[in-house]
C-alpha cells in the first residue's frame, strides 16, 4: 500500500492506494458511518461495508441532480444523522461527487471520506475536493470545493469494472503523464499491456503517480484560477464531444487530448514525433484517437462550457511531452483549426 | 483624504445653495454651485442653454463638471436638481465626497421657489406649477432615495446646516475589517451607501442581485446598474432547495459565470439564500451582503454561515461562505416594520450582553422604540449602534471561523428561544423569543449564583424600551419547552448547553444545570 498526504483547504487528507474496503472502519474512529453508494457497488460489496446506515442511490450521470441530493438529505434527517456522523461515499465519481456535496452542506458540513471504486475516481475524483451535481444541462453546475478526510483506493475492486470505465481512468492517467511527467509517460509506454491487465504493481504505481501530479497542481491553486486549469488538458474538447456525441467520458477525453495535441503541434509547441507518441500510447491503451462528430455542434457546446470567460476559451496545450501551458484561444481560431 | 467634499442634491427649492454656502463657511471649505459654474463658463443662463443648445448639451456639461469637481477636495458642492440622478456623476462625486439629499414638502418648495426672484426655473414655467412639482418629485423619488436624506421642512437654513455639519463631522462611513477563513474583507456601515455598493465592494465583473419581492422594488435600483435582479418570494418558507434551484436556473439562463458577483440584498432569509447560492453555484462565486434589516446587519450577514431549510427543520443544509464585503446601508432600516426593528434590537442587546457592557449602556440610555412609518432613532445613532454591535460578533467569529467552540456564546438566550419558538409553533417571532431567552438566562444565572439578581432587573426595561417582551406567555407549556431544549441539535450527548452570565459583557458556557433549576427559571419568568 502507498499513502499520500495532501493538504486541503479544510484540513489534511490521506489517500490510501491499495488499501482494502474491508479495513474501512479503521479510518472511522469514534464516528458513526453513514454510507452513500449506488446499486451496483451496493449489491456486489455490501457485506464488506462497516456497520452503519446505507443510503443507496441509482446509477448513471442522470441521477446526479439536486432531487437526488434532496432525497439523501431527507434520509439523513430521518435517521437523525448529526455532526457525530461521518459520511462515506463508496463508489465511482458520481457517488463521490454527490456524497461530497451532501457532506459539505448537510448541517453545514460533516466529516467525510470516500472509497473510490473505479479507476477514474481513484486517479481523478478523489483529489481536488470538487463535488457537485449537474444542472440545467450543464455538468457540475452546483457544488462546492471540499476535500475528504481520506480516500481509500481498493485496487481489487477494479477487476469488476466494465471496459469503458477502465478507459476513462486510463485517459486521465495519460493526461497526468502528458501534462507533467515525461518519465511516467515513458514508463507507461513500456507497461501499457500490464496496465491493461490490471497488474497490481503497475496500477498501484500509476494511480499513485497520477495522484502526486494532480495533488501537486491542486495544492498550488486551491480554487482553479491558474495552474489547476492544466488538469483540463483534453477536457475542453472532451466535454463538448461527450455532450454532443454521448460517447463515454474516457473516449471523449482521449479524442480531446489528440485535438489539443494537434493545436500544440500547429503552434510549434510539440514535434510531430511527440504527437505520434501520444496517439500511439492512447491506442496501446485501447483508447480512440478520432471520432466522427458534428463540428459546429461541438464548437457551440464548447462556447457554452462553464469555464468560458468572455470570448476566449482557456485552453491547455502541451509544451513538449510532460509539460503544458495554459493559453487563451478565440472561438474563431478554433473554428479555423484544420484538425477538427 | 483629508477634506472629503460635501455634495448636496435634491429637488429645486430645498435649500441646496443657501445651506451649502453656510456649511462651507463653517468648515472653511470652498463653495461651488454646479449650475452657476456652468452658466459662468457658457456665458449663458441655464434656460438659455436649454433653449439654444438643448438638454443633452447641458447634461454633458454637467458630467464634465462632476468629473472635474470629483478630482478636488475641501469643497461643498451644490448640484443641479438632476445632476446626481445620473449614475456616472453620482459615482464620481461620491468617490471623494459625502452625499446628502435635501428634502421638503411640495408646498414648501413652491413657496420657496416663488419667493426667490433671482432664479428662473425653466421646468416650472407651466400653468399649474404645484402639479408639476408633485409630478417631478414622483419621477425622481427613486433616484433621490439612494442618498442620505435630510428633511428641511420647517427648519431654518441654520438648523439644517448645524445638523449636516454634525453628521459630517461625527459620522463618516465606518469600516470594520474582518478576517474570515484566511480572507480579509470589510464591513462598511453608513447612511446612503447602496448606490456605491459596486465601488465600495470593489466589484468589476457582472452583478446579480438576489432579493425578495418586498425589498427588490424598494432598493434593487439603488444598487446602480446591475446585470440582473432575481426576486424570490419573501419569508422563511421560501428558504428552500427549490428556490435555490430556481435562482441557479435563472443565473444559468442569463449566462452568469464565475467572474460574477452575487449581491444579497435583503434580510436574514436573503443572507442565507444568497450566501448558499454563492457557495454552490459553479462551486462558488463572489458574494457581497447588503443587509437591509437590523437582524441581518448585526447578525446573519456576519460569520459566513449560509443556510436553507428542509421540510423537517430550519437551517439543516448550508455552507460556510465568506463574502468579499458587507455593505450595510442604515437608510434601508427606514422601511422596516416596528416588529422587524424590535427583532433586530433583540440581537443587538444580546451582543452587548455577551461582550460589550459599554454598548449595553448606550442602548440603555437611548430611545429605540419605533412607531409605524417613522424612524425614531436618527440615522447617525443607528449607524453608530450597528457599527458597535457588529464588532462583538466579528470578534467572536474571527476567533472561531468554523463554529467549533467560542461561537457558542452567540447562542446566549437562544437555547431557550428555539425551544419556545418550537413549542408555540413559531407564533412568537424569533426576536421576541430571544428576548424571553435573555431574561431566562439572566434569571438562571442568578439562581445558580453566577450573577447578581440585579442583572435581570436592569435587562427587563431595556428589552421593553425596544418593544420586546420579557415574560413567557402563560399559554406556553413549560415541561414541553424543557423537552424541546433537550432535543435541540446543539445538545451534546443529551446534555443541554447553556450560556450564562457572570455580569453584563461576560458570559460563559456550561451544562451543569439541572432540570429542576431550568423549570424553576421558566416558571419564574412566565406571565
CA atoms within 13 A on the CB side of A44: 15
Contacting residues of A for B282, CB less than 8 Å apart: 141-142, 306
Residues 6+ apart with CB under 8 A from B119: none
The per-residue pLDDT of chain B, averaged, comes to 88
- Name the CA dihedral angle for B425, B429, B430, B433, rounded to a multiple of 10 degrees: -80
pLDDT at B455: 96
Same domain for B160 and B231?
no
Is the CB of residue A70 less than 8 Å away from at least one CB of chain B?
Answer: yes
pLDDT at B24: 94
The partner residue sitting opposite A308, judged by closest CB among B257, B310, B311, is B257
Residue B364 in any domain: the answer is no
Q: In whole angstroms, what is the distance from residue B266 CA to residue B210 CA? A: 8
Rounded mean pLDDT, B208-217: 96
Residue B295 has pLDDT above 50, yes or no: yes
The residue out of A160, A186, A217 marking a domain boundary is: A160
Question: Which of A104-113, A248-257, B220-229 shows the lowest mean pLDDT across its residues?
Answer: B220-229
Same domain for B222 and B297?
yes
Residue B1's pLDDT band (cuts 50, 70, 90): very low
Look at B282 and A66 and tell me if their CB atoms are within 8 Å.
no
Same domain for A282 and A237?
yes
Same domain for A138 and A222?
no
Question: Which of A105-114, B341-350, B449-458, B489-498 shows the lowest mean pLDDT across its residues?
Answer: B489-498
Long-range contacts, A262-271 (Cβ 8 Å, 24+): A262/A337, A262/A339, A263/A315, A263/A317, A263/A329, A263/A337, A263/A339, A264/A317, A264/A318, A264/A319, A266/A337, A266/A338, A266/A339, A267/A317, A269/A317, A269/A318, A269/A319, A269/A320, A269/A325, A270/A318, A270/A319, A270/A320, A270/A321
Is the CB of residue B130 less than 8 Å away from at least one CB of chain A?
Answer: no
Q: Is A187 exposed, middle or buried (0-12, 13-18, 19+ CB in 10 A)?
A: middle
Q: How many CB atoms lie within 10 A of CB B4?
A: 16
Residue percentage of chain A with pLDDT more than 90: 74
Long-range contacts, A330-338 (Cβ 8 Å, 24+): A331/A299, A331/A302, A331/A303, A334/A299, A334/A302, A335/A299, A337/A259, A337/A262, A337/A263, A337/A266, A338/A266
Chain A contact probe: residue of B246, B279, B280 with most A CBs at under 10 A: B280
Q: 3-state DSSP call for residue B59?
A: helix
Residue B490 has pLDDT above 90, yes or no: no
pLDDT at A307: 47
Number of domains in chain B: 3
The residue out of A110, A134, A160 marking a domain boundary is: A160
Q: What CATH number did the domain enclosing A122 receive?
A: 3.40.50.1970
List pLDDT tens digits, range B375-384.
567 777 888 8
Q: Phi and psi of B293, rounded to 5°?
A: -120, 155
Look at A144 and B283 and tell me if their CB atoms are within 8 Å.
yes
Residue B87 has pLDDT above 90, yes or no: no
Residue B120's pLDDT band (cuts 50, 70, 90): low
Rounded mean pLDDT, A305-334: 81
The partner residue sitting opposite B319, judged by closest CB among A105, A141, A309, is A105
Residue of B nearest to A65 (CA): B245
pLDDT at B137: 84
Question: What is the enclosing helix (H) or strand (E) of B309?
Answer: strand B305-310
Angle at B417 between CA B491 and CA B402, to 5 degrees: 50
pLDDT at B294: 95
Q: In whole angstroms, what is the distance from residue B353 CA to residue B501 CA? A: 8
CA atoms within 13 A on the CB side of A170: 32
Look at B489 and A82 and tell me if their CB atoms are within 8 Å.
yes
pLDDT at A220: 78
Q: 3-state DSSP call for residue B365?
A: helix
Q: State how far residue B260 is from chain A, nearest Cα, in angstroms.
A: 10
Alpha-carbon Rg for chain A, nearest whole angstrom, is: 20
Residues 6+ apart with CB under 8 A from A309: B257, B258, B259
Q: Is B169 exposed, middle or buried (0-12, 13-18, 19+ CB in 10 A)?
A: exposed
Angle at A240 between CA A235 and CA A242, to 5 degrees: 85
Same domain for A70 and A103?
yes
Question: Which of A137-146, B13-22, B27-36, B87-96 shows the lowest mean pLDDT across its residues?
Answer: B87-96
Q: What DSSP string describes B109-153? A: HHHHHHT-TT---GGG-SS-HHHHHHHHHHHHHHHHTTSEEEE-T
Contacting residues of A for B245, CB less than 8 Å apart: 66, 135
Same domain for A137 and A174?
no
Domain range for residue A289?
163-336
Residue A126 has pLDDT above 70, yes or no: yes
Question: What is the enclosing helix (H) or strand (E) of A55?
Answer: strand A53-57
Cα A322 to Cα A183, A228, A252, A285, B53, distances in angstroms? 8, 15, 21, 18, 68
Rounded mean pLDDT, B170-190: 76
pLDDT at A213: 94
Same domain for B193 and B161?
no
pLDDT at B322: 92
Q: State how far residue B493 is from chain A, nearest Cα, in angstroms.
A: 10
Residue A306 has pLDDT above 90, yes or no: no
Residue B170's pLDDT band (cuts 50, 70, 90): low
Residue B374 in any domain: the answer is no
Domain range for residue B59?
5-170
Residue B344 has pLDDT above 60, yes or no: yes
Residue B451 in any domain: the answer is yes
Residue A233 has pLDDT above 60, yes or no: yes
Q: What CATH number did the domain enclosing B98 receive?
A: 3.40.50.300
Number of domains in chain A: 2
pLDDT at A308: 45
Same domain for A211 and A290?
yes
Look at A223 and B313 and tell me if their CB atoms are within 8 Å.
no
Same domain for A103 and A230?
no
Contacting residues of A for B253, CB less than 8 Å apart: 136
Residue B301 in any domain: the answer is yes
Rounded mean pLDDT, B260-285: 96
Is the CB of residue A79 less than 8 Å away from at least one CB of chain B?
Answer: no
pLDDT at B373: 55
Q: What DSSP string describes B66-77? A: HHHHHT--SEEE
Same domain for B166 and B302?
no
Look at B241 and A70 and tell me if their CB atoms are within 8 Å.
yes
Same domain for B216 and B109?
no
Residue B457 has pLDDT above 60, yes or no: yes
Same domain for A199 and A261?
yes
Contacting residues of A for B489, CB less than 8 Å apart: 82, 107
The distance of Cα B107 from the centroid of its chain, to the nearest Å, equals 31
Question: Cβ(A245)–Cβ(A254) under 8 Å?
Answer: no
Helices (H), B366-429: 379-399, 414-423
Alpha-carbon Rg for chain B, nearest whole angstrom, is: 26
List pLDDT tens digits, range B315-341.
899 999 999 999 999 989 988 888 999
Extended strands (E) in A223-319? 312-318
Residue A261 has pLDDT above 90, yes or no: yes
Residue B312's pLDDT band (cuts 50, 70, 90): confident
Cell digits for A222?
486551491
Q: What CATH number did the domain enclosing A278 receive?
A: 1.20.1090.10
Question: What is the enclosing helix (H) or strand (E) of B6?
Answer: strand B5-10
Question: Cβ(B27)–Cβ(B2) under 8 Å?
Answer: no
Rounded mean pLDDT, A204-229: 84
Same domain for B295 and B436?
no
Residue percentage of chain B with pLDDT more than 70: 94
pLDDT at B145: 65
Residue B383 in any domain: the answer is no
Question: Cβ(B319)–Cβ(B279) under 8 Å?
Answer: yes
Same domain for A185 and A141?
no
Look at A309 and B257 and tell me if their CB atoms are within 8 Å.
yes
Q: 3-state DSSP call for residue B91?
A: helix
Is the CB of residue B259 less than 8 Å away from at least one CB of chain A?
Answer: yes
Q: How many CB atoms lie within 10 A of CB A139?
A: 18
The per-residue pLDDT of chain A, averaged, comes to 91
Same domain for A172 and A149?
no
Rounded mean pLDDT, B362-390: 80
The partner residue sitting opposite B318, judged by closest CB among A105, A140, A308, is A105
Residue B86's pLDDT band (cuts 50, 70, 90): confident
Is the CB of residue B252 less than 8 Å away from at least one CB of chain A?
Answer: yes
Q: What CATH number did the domain enclosing B413 receive?
A: 1.20.1090.10
Determine the longest span between alpha carbons in chain B, in angstroms. Answer: 86
Same domain for B191 and B321?
yes
Contacting residues of A for B317, CB less than 8 Å apart: 73, 105-108
The residue out of A145, A160, A175 marking a domain boundary is: A160
Amino acid at each position: 500500500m502507498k499513502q499520500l498526504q495532501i493538504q486541503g483547504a479544510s484540513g489534511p487528507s490521506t489517500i490510501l492506494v491499495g488499501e482494502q474496503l474491508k479495513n474501512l472502519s479503521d479510518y472511522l474512529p469514534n464516528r458513526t458511518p453513514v454510507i452513500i453508494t449506488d446499486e451496483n457497488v451496493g449489491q456486489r460489496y455490501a457485506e464488506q461495508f462497516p456497520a452503519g446506515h446505507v443510503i443507496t442511490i441509482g446509477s448513471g450521470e442522470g441521477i446526479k441532480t439536486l432531487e437526488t441530493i434532496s432525497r439523501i438529505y431527507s434520509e439523513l434527517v430521518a435517521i437523525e444523522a448529526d455532526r457525530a456522523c461521518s459520511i462515506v461515499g463508496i463508489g465511482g465519481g458520481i457517488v463521490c461527487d454527490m456524497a461530497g456535496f451532501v457532506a459539505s452542506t448537510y448541517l453545514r458540513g460533516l466529516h467525510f471520506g470516500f472509497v473510490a471504486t473505479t479507476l477514474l475516481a481513484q486517479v481523478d475524483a478523489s483529489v481536488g475536493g470538487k463535488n457537485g451535481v449537474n444542472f440545467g444541462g450543464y455538468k457540475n453546475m452546483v457544488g462546492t470545493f471540499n476535500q475528504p478526510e481520506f480516500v481509500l483506493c481498493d485496487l481489487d475492486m477494479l477487476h469488476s469494472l466494465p471496459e469503458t470505465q477502465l478507459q476513462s481512468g486510463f485517459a486521465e492517467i495519460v493526461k497526468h503523464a502528458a501534462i507533467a511527467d515525461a518519465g511516467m509517460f515513458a514508463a507507461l509506454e513500456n507497461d501499457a499491456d500490464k496496465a491493461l491487465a490490471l497488474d497490481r504493481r503497475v496500477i498501484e504505481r500509476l494511480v499513485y503517480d497520477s495522484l502526486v501530479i494532480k495533488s501537486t497542481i491542486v495544492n498550488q491553486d486551491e480554487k482553479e484560477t491558474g495552474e489547476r486549469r492544466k488538469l483540463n488538458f483534453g477536457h475542453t474538447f472532451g466535454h463538448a464531444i461527450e455532450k454532443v456525441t454521448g460517447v463515454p467520458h474516457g473516449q471523449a477525453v482521449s479524442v480531446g487530448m489528440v485535438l489539443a495535441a494537434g493545436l500544440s503541434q500547429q503552434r510549434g509547441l510539440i514535434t510531430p514525433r511527440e504527437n505520434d507518441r501520444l496517439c500511439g500510447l492512447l491506442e496501446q491503451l485501447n483508447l480512440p484517437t478520432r471520432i466522427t462528430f458534428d463540428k459546429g455542434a461541438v464548437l457551440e457546446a464548447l462556447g457554452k462550457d462553464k469555464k468560458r470567460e468572455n470570448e476566449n476559451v482557456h485552453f491547455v496545450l502541451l509544451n513538449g511531452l510532460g509539460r503544458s501551458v495554459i493559453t487563451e484561444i478565440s472561438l474563431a481560431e478554433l473554428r479555423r483549426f484544420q484538425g477538427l | 483624504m483629508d477634506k472629503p467634499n460635501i455634495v448636496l442634491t435634491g429637488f429645486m427649492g430645498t435649500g441646496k445653495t443657501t445651506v451649502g454656502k453656510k456649511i462651507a463657511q463653517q468648515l472653511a471649505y470652498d463653495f461651488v454651485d454646479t449650475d452657476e459654474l456652468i452658466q459662468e463658463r457658457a456665458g449663458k443662463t441655464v434656460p438659455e442653454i436649454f433653449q439654444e443648445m438643448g438638454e443633452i448639451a447641458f447634461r454633458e456639461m454637467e458630467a464634465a463638471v462632476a468629473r472635474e469637481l470629483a478630482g478636488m477636495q475641501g469643497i461643498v458642492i451644490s448640484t443641479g436638481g438632476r445632476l446626481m440622478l445620473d449614475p456616472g456623476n453620482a459615482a464620481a462625486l461620491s468617490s471623494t465626497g459625502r452625499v446628502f439629499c435635501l428634502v421638503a414638502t411640495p408646498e414648501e418648495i413652491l413657496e420657496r421657489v416663488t419667493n426667490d426672484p433671482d432664479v428662473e426655473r425653466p421646468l416650472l414655467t407651466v400653468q399649474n406649477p404645484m402639479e408639476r412639482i408633485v409630478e417631478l418629485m414622483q419621477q425622481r423619488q427613486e433616484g433621490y432615495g439612494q442618498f442620505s436624506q435630510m428633511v428641511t421642512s420647517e427648519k431654518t437654513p441654520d438648523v439644517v446646516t448645524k445638523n449636516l455639519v454634525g453628521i459630517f463631522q461625527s459620522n463618516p462611513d465606518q469600516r470594520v475589517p474582518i478576517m474570515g477563513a484566511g480572507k480579509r474583507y470589510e464591513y462598511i456601515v453608513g447612511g446612503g451607501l447602496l448606490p456605491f455598493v459596486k465601488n465600495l465592494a470593489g466589484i468589476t465583473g457582472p452583478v446579480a442581485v438576489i432579493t425578495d419581492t418586498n425589498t427588490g422594488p424598494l432598493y434593487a435600483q439603488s444598487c446602480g446598474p446591475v446585470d440582473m435582479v432575481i426576486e424570490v418570494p419573501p419569508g422563511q418558507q421560501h428558504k428552500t432547495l427549490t428556490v435555490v434551484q430556481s435562482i441557479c436556473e435563472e443565473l444559468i439562463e442569463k449566462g452568469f459565470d464565475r467572474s460574477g458577483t452575487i449581491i444579497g440584498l435583503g434580510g436574514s432569509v436573503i443572507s442565507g439564500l444568497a450566501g448558499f447560492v454563492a457557495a454552490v453555484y459553479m462551486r462558488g462565486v463572489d458574494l457581497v451582503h447588503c443587509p437591509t434589516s437590523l437582524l441581518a446587519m448585526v447578525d446573519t450577514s456576519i460569520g459566513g454561515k449560509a443556510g436553507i431549510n428542509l421540510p423537517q427543520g430550519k437551517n439543516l443544509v448550508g455552507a460556510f461562505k465568506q463574502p468579499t464585503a458587507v455593505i450595510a446601508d442604515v437608510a434601508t432600516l427606514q422601511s422596516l416594520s416596528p416588529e422587524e426593528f424590535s427583532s433586530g434590537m433583540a440581537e443587538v442587546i444580546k451582543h452587548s450582553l455577551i461582550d460589550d457592557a459599554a454598548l449595553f449602556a448606550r442602548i440603555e440610555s437611548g430611545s429605540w422604540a419605533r412607531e409605524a412609518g417613522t424612524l425614531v432613532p436618527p440615522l447617525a445613532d443607528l449607524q453608530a449602534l450597528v457599527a458597535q454591535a457588529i464588532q462583538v460578533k466579528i470578534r467572536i467569529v474571527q476567533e472561531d471561523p468554523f463554529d467549533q467552540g467560542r461561537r457558542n456564546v452567540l447562542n446566549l438566550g437562544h437555547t431557550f428561544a428555539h425551544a419556545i419558538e418550537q413549542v408555540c409553533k413559531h407564533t412568537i417571532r424569533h426576536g421576541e423569543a430571544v428576548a424571553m431567552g435573555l431574561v431566562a438566562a439572566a434569571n438562571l444565572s442568578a439562581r445558580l449564583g453566577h450573577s447578581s439578581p440585579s442583572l435581570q432587573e436592569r435587562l427587563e426595561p431595556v428589552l421593553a424600551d425596544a418593544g420586546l417582551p420579557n415574560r413567557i406567555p402563560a399559554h406556553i407549556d413549560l415541561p414541553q419547552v424543557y423537552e424541546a431544549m433537550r432535543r435541540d441539535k446543539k445538545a451534546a450527548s443529551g446534555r443541554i448547553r447553556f450560556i450564562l452570565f457572570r455580569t453584563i459583557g461576560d458570559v460563559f458556557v456550561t451544562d451543569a444545570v439541572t432540570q429542576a433549576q431550568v423549570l424553576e427559571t421558566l416558571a419564574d419568568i412566565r406571565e
